[in-house]
Amino acid sequence: MALAARDWLAGTELGDRFVDVRMLSAGSRCTIYTGREQATNRMVAIKIPEESAPWLSEVLDHEAAVLAAIGSHPNVVTYFQRYELEDGRPALVMEYCRSSLDDALRGDARLPLQEVTSIGIKLAGALETVHRAGVLHCDIRPRNVLLTEFGEPVLAGFDEALSIEDGTEHPPMHVTTAHTAPELLEGLPISAATDVYGLASTMYELVTGRAAFRAYLGESPAEVIVRVLSGTVAPIVSSEVPIEVSDLITWGMSSDPTQRPPSAAWFAEELGRIERREGWPRTRMVTR
Q: Which residues are catalytic?
A: 139
Phi, psi of 205 (to 5 degrees): -70, -35
Mapped onto helix, strand or coil, the DSSP state of residue 146 is strand
The identity of residue 66, as a single letter, is V
How far apart CA 135 and CA 148 sit, in angstroms, is 23
Contact 207, 142 (CB under 8 A): no
Contact 136, 194 (CB under 8 A): yes
Mapped onto helix, strand or coil, the DSSP state of residue 104 is helix
Name the maximum alpha-carbon separation found in the chain. 57
Contact 281, 121 (CB under 8 A): no
How far apart CA 45 and CA 43 sit, in angstroms, is 7
How far apart CA 18 and CA 80 sit, in angstroms, is 14
